Amino acid sequence: MKYLTADFGSTYTKLTAIDASKSEIVGTSTAFTTIETDVMEGYNFALHQLEEKIGEFCYDQLLCCSSAAGGLAMVALGLVPELTSKAAKMAASSAGAKVVRTYAFEISKAEQAEIYDINPDLVLLCGGTDGGNKEVIVNNAKKLCEIDRSFSVIVAGNKSASSDIESIFSDSEKDYVITENVMPEFNKLNIEPAKQKIKELFISKIVDAKGLSKIQNLTNSEIIPTPLAVLNGCELLSKGTEQTEGLGDLMAIDIGGATTDVYSISDGRPTFDNVMIKGLPEPFNKRTVEGDLGMRYSLYSLSNEIDLNALSEEIKVDVKDIVKWIEICKTSPNTLAKKNSIYQTIEEGLAKYALKIAVERHVGKMESTFTPFGQMYIVSGKDLTQVNLIIGIGGVLVNSINPIKILDAAKADKQNPMLLKPKQPNYLLDRKYIFASMGLLSAVDAELALTIMKREIT
């Protein structure tokens, strides 16, 4: 059995040829993603490059994923930020969507205008536990119908409001689907049904919107969001199969052109005493996506998060050169920094900060408080201090002179002791960028995918 996997990224289209009889990858290739013309151009160029390396490759099955054009853009609406709004974001992120913005309470006119400007692919509408407040979610449904955009809506809120919401949307031209509440009871998560609906809408609508319908015609498998494929790969490598043991708890960090994604496969329970837990329970398999921390399409917003003068001093490069490189990348996102050039130094410095900020947003936090029983620690989010494996993904890491220096930014540091980052991690690198490929392969042959990952990710 021979498999070809295709990952249509925001910057590159990546092909991986796999021979199951040999349990190995026989070749890989990349080409710039041609989303603005026809994705088949980039695909065919990558396939030509692959076959120049390995000869004609007659595959039995094509498996595909995509984050082309920045992936699946979504906004999420909930009732309160700490509860249903956060639950909505968890569901969207775990399904592979890029959550551009979350809103809480009843949205205002200004927020309606903001959603219009965002022009998302999908809107996840949540709010209220089952039998609880339904006024907010009903009013938000009406306000979404007033926005003159063609986004699809997934309703995953208070089931008592379902009939009212169905009437509202059926009278509009909005495409919608109603599924189970993401938080049916206080502090109880139920994100799988919403996650499944997001995946289904990606397949049925967004594939056409992103120009991937021709690719869909070449495969009998579903095209899924790339981040979902990566999450599946992370889960397989961590947990293993019935036959083969996995590597245990891990983090993976994917620095891409449009986003920086962080994955953690761990229960994240506090590993120290005198703890009170705040907020919603965290999912074992967690993904966060930072749409303002990419190395190309969101490089400008990344630069706004960074003290460029401090970066200049750290990497010993004039700040004017840093600004120049940012402008070059903004004008021509396909630009690559030449090896050992000043621009590669800048690229790696920016990547280090993208990774650092993304990890700090992903991990849990603690704060100290005094009670009648003495000092206690309030923890919100996942405690990842004991995770001992971090895997780096993305071209800037693979092409780096010193990828460990970039990955080290994920490690706990004395300047931010209240952030629950890994204390003593070991590092591996996905040098062939196969996580998404193996996540796709895991759906048809998990044992083969795990065997290859253990061999190739070093």
pLDDT tens readout for residues 44-74: 999 999 999 999 999 999 999 887 655 678 8
What's the confidence (pLDDT) of residue 193? 92
Give me the CATH topology for the region 72-205: Rossmann fold (3.40.50)
Give residue 291's pLDDT.
Answer: 78
- 41 residue type, one letter: E
Low-confidence ranges of the chain (pLDDT < 50): none
| Whether the domain at 2-68+210-246+433-456 and the domain at 72-205 fall into the same CATH topology | no
The model's pTM is 0.82
Topology of domain 250-429, per CATH? Nucleotidyltransferase; domain 5 (3.30.420)
pLDDT at position 80 is: 81
Domain edges within the chain = 2-68+210-246+433-456, 72-205, 250-429
Q: Residue 4 and residue 16: Cα distance in Å, rounded?
A: 6
What pLDDT, on a 0 to 100 scale, did the predictor assign at position 64? 92
DSSP 41-101: HHHHHHHHHHHHHH-----SEEEEEE-GGGSEEEEEEESSIIIIIHHHHHHHHHTTEEEEE
How high is the pLDDT of residue 423? 95
Q: Which residues contact 255 (CB under 8 A, 6 or more apart)?
A: 294, 295, 351, 354, 355, 392, 393, 394, 396, 397, 406
List Cβ neighbours of 453 (8 Å cut-off, separation of 6 or more). 233, 236, 237, 434, 435, 438
Domain 2-68+210-246+433-456 has CATH 3.40.50.720: no
